[in-house]
Structures are given as structure tokens and as C-alpha cells.
Copies of this chain bind each other. A is one copy, B any other.
Amino acid sequence: MKPLDPIKKRRVTLKLVADRAGVHASTASRALNPVTRSMVLPSVAQKVLDAAQELGYHPDPVAASLRTGRSKLAAILVPDISNSVFAPILSGASERLATEGYTVIVADVGSDKDKQLNIASGLMARRVDGFILATVSKDDPLVAFCLEQNIPAVLVNRAEAQSRLSSVVSDDELGMQMAVDHLVSLTHKIIGHIAGPAQHSTGYLRRRGFGRAMARHGLTENSPCQIAKSYSRHEGAHAARRLLDSHPQVTAIVAANDLLALGVYDVFRERGINCPAEISVVGHNDMQLVDMIEPPLTTIRIDHHEMGRQAAELLRQVIENPDKAKHNVTLQPILIVRSSTAAPRKPKPQTRSER
């Protein structure tokens, strides 16, 4: 004599629906799945659909997943969810994936490659249908992992030199070109660069873009560069100090991203340097709120929301057709001029002796 359980109501199963419609479970299954619906008489299909409706049937994705090996689950791996650059990427991607019927798992996986791999295999065990990776660095083991496991994956924001996977990134070189052109048009001649870590494509490509743009203006000799250890305000400040110590003559600094530019601001404050009167600064990303800081930051805007959207779309395509040719999408950034850039102050005659 089992105690009956009045609280937990029974799950509505496919069998229940089938019984009510007077057909076999497999027929009900076919009727319910739009793809296989044509295998079933329209009249029967309608009966099944009605029965499902009446009973409030919701297919069990877990059971389906066990059976089919697919899950309608997509995972997005970010190195740091607190970094606000990723927020619009996530919302763009989630939005798109949700409309395609995917449930999105956002995993904050940190920067430790072993940890990342662990988390990725955990998700594989859950049979996620694909990954969007916002984490990759040069020769990333995660990419190797996805290739090995033969699981659909696309890169977003950061890519690889060898494009082993499809990707959506901003045109980092072009962005730097824009930044440099803008400064040169303001008649700057000695422009420093605070680069991001070289193992990230953003760090590497933006640095290259900076170098090329300066070369194009014949300013190669006047383009000192310091590489920040990470994309953080703290490391940005660190690099800025090194840059200013070694090249006090710079009249402008191009930072590889906004966080680094904020670090530059910190150093300006610390040393009483006026921006843009004494030194101009350009950031990269147009992170939220950089229009509110003082001075409002001139920067390169990337449409991260669109980036997420396109990555999601690409992933969907790869999931549907794993042999799809790789696509490397490059988004056009735009220059946003605010108040951190201005023409350089005319060098006072006694400038040299001043220090």
C-alpha cells in the first residue's frame, strides 16, 4: 500500500498524449515533431496535437537528449563575466540562440586553461550541441579540444591566427588605423601604444595595426610601445608609467582597450598630466560609461551585441551542418571622437630643458 502523493503531480508523458489521441507513442512522437509530421495523416496529427494541448504536454528534453545525443543546449565560455565587454556579446548571442530554441549555458571559466578544459568536458558530458568561445588565445587547447571531440564551436571577439574554427571578430587592425589616423589628423607625431597581451589576437593584431598605421604615416621611429600583462586598469597604469618614463615626449597614447586607457588616466592623475591638453588618449571597445568619465574617452566602438548575434548564427549553422566551410567574419568598428583627444600643445621653446 503505497502512500499516494497528492502534491507532486505526474509529469505528462508522450504515452499519455498518445493514449488520449488513441495512437501509439511513436505516432504521437512523429506528429509532434514538425520534421516528421508529414509521416502521419494530417487528421491523426491534429488529434495528437489537440491531445497534447489539452494535457499541457511538454516534451522532456532530457529523455530526448539521452536518445538522440543532441540537447538543444549551447554553451558560451567567457574568461570573466564581470568584464563588461562580454555582457553585450552574451546578450546578443543568448537572444539569437533562444529564438532558435536553444537553452544557453554561460560558463565563467576564468583564464586557467586546465580549468577551462575541465569545464568544457563537463559540458560535453551534458551533450551540449556547441560552444561559443570568447576565451581563446594563441594555440588555444580549447580549440584543439573542440576539434578532437568534433564538437561544433565558433570563436568570438578573439580569434586564432590559423583559423581552425569559424569566428566573429572586430577588424582590430582597421580600428587601430582609425585611431592613429585620427591622432595624426590632429597633427600628433609621437604616439605611444599600450598593447594588450600578445597571446590574444586582439593584443597582437591591434599592436600590428598600430605599427602599420604609424608606418603608413612615416612615423615608425616615433611609435614606442609597452605591452600590458592583462587587459586591466591596473596593468594599463603599469604600462603607461613605463611608456611615459621611457618616452616623455609622446603627445598621444593609443591603448589596446578601454580598461587599459583607464589605467592611463590613473597615471595622468597621479602625475598631474592634463588630458587632452598635454597628452591625448584613445581607447578601444567603447565600453559602457566611458562617455561619462573625465575626459570622455575617444575610442573605437565595436558592436559587441551584433558580434554575439552573428556568432550564435554561425554556431547554429555549424551545428546543423558540421561540414560547413569555415567563415571568419570581421565586423567594422567605428571611431567615436570624444574629449580625450585634441591637437598637441605647441612645444614651448624651453620644453627640452624643462625636465
Q: What is the interface of chain A, defined by CB distance below 8 A to chain B? A: 7-8, 58-63, 65-66, 71, 80-84, 87-88, 90-91, 94-95, 98, 103-108, 119, 121-123, 125-127, 150, 262, 265, 288-290, 292-294
- Name the contact of A82 in the complex, choosing from B88, B262, B292 (C-beta under 8 A): B88
A128 (CB) vs chain B CBs: closest residue: B103
| Contact across chains for A61 and B262 when beta carbons are under 8 A apart | no
Complex: how many Å from CA A192 to CA B337? 34
| Contact across chains for B94 and A87 when beta carbons are under 8 A apart | no
- Name the contact of A289 in the complex, choosing from B58, B62, B105, B293 (C-beta under 8 A): B293
**Chain B residues whose CB sits within 8 angstroms of the CB of A8 once the complex forms:** 150
**Chain B residues whose CB sits within 8 angstroms of the CB of A289 once the complex forms:** 262, 289-290, 292-293
A269 (CB) vs chain B CBs: closest residue: B292
Complex: how many Å from CA A121 to CA B103? 12
- Name the contact of A66 in the complex, choosing from B62, B106, B122, B150 (C-beta under 8 A): B62
**Chain B residues whose CB sits within 8 angstroms of the CB of A62 once the complex forms:** 62, 65-66, 71, 125-127
A94 (CB) vs chain B CBs: closest residue: B108
Complex: how many Å from CA A262 to CA B108? 29
Number of copies: 2
| Contact across chains for B126 and A103 when beta carbons are under 8 A apart | yes
With A106-B106, A121-B58, A293-B294 given, is the CB distance from A81 to B71 under 8 Å?
A: no
Task: Give the dominant DSSP class at A's interface.
Answer: mixed
Interchain nearest-CB distance for A127 vs B (Å): 6
- Name the contact of A262 in the complex, choosing from B60, B98, B106, B292 (C-beta under 8 A): B292
- Name the contact of A105 in the complex, choosing from B59, B105, B125 (C-beta under 8 A): B105
Complex: how many Å from CA A262 to CA B294? 13
**Chain B residues whose CB sits within 8 angstroms of the CB of A123 once the complex forms:** 103
| Contact across chains for B95 and A91 when beta carbons are under 8 A apart | no
Interchain nearest-CB distance for A97 vs B (Å): 11
Interchain nearest-CB distance for A322 vs B (Å): 11
| Contact across chains for B84 and A288 when beta carbons are under 8 A apart | yes
**Chain B residues whose CB sits within 8 angstroms of the CB of A94 once the complex forms:** 81, 107-108
Complex: how many Å from CA A127 to CA B63? 11
| Contact across chains for A125 and B61 when beta carbons are under 8 A apart | yes
**Chain B residues whose CB sits within 8 angstroms of the CB of A98 once the complex forms:** 119
With A90-B108, A106-B106 given, is the CB distance from A125 to B60 under 8 Å?
A: yes
Q: Can you identify 24 A-B contacts, CB atoms within 8 angstroms?
A: A8-B150, A59-B125, A60-B66, A60-B125, A62-B65, A62-B66, A62-B125, A62-B126, A63-B66, A66-B66, A80-B91, A82-B87, A82-B91, A84-B87, A90-B108, A94-B107, A95-B108, A103-B105, A103-B126, A104-B106, A105-B105, A262-B292, A289-B289, A289-B293
Looking at A61, A90, A104, A126, the one whose CB has the most chain B CB atoms below 10 A away is: A126
Interchain nearest-CB distance for A269 vs B (Å): 10
* Nearest 7 interchain pairs by C-beta: A294-B294, A106-B106, A292-B293, A82-B87, A289-B289, A94-B108, A84-B84
**Chain B residues whose CB sits within 8 angstroms of the CB of A65 once the complex forms:** 62
Looking at A58, A61, A106, A121, the one whose CB has the most chain B CB atoms below 10 A away is: A106
Interchain nearest-CB distance for A6 vs B (Å): 12
Complex: how many Å from CA A62 to CA B106? 18
**Chain B residues whose CB sits within 8 angstroms of the CB of A288 once the complex forms:** 82, 84
| Contact across chains for B294 and A7 when beta carbons are under 8 A apart | no
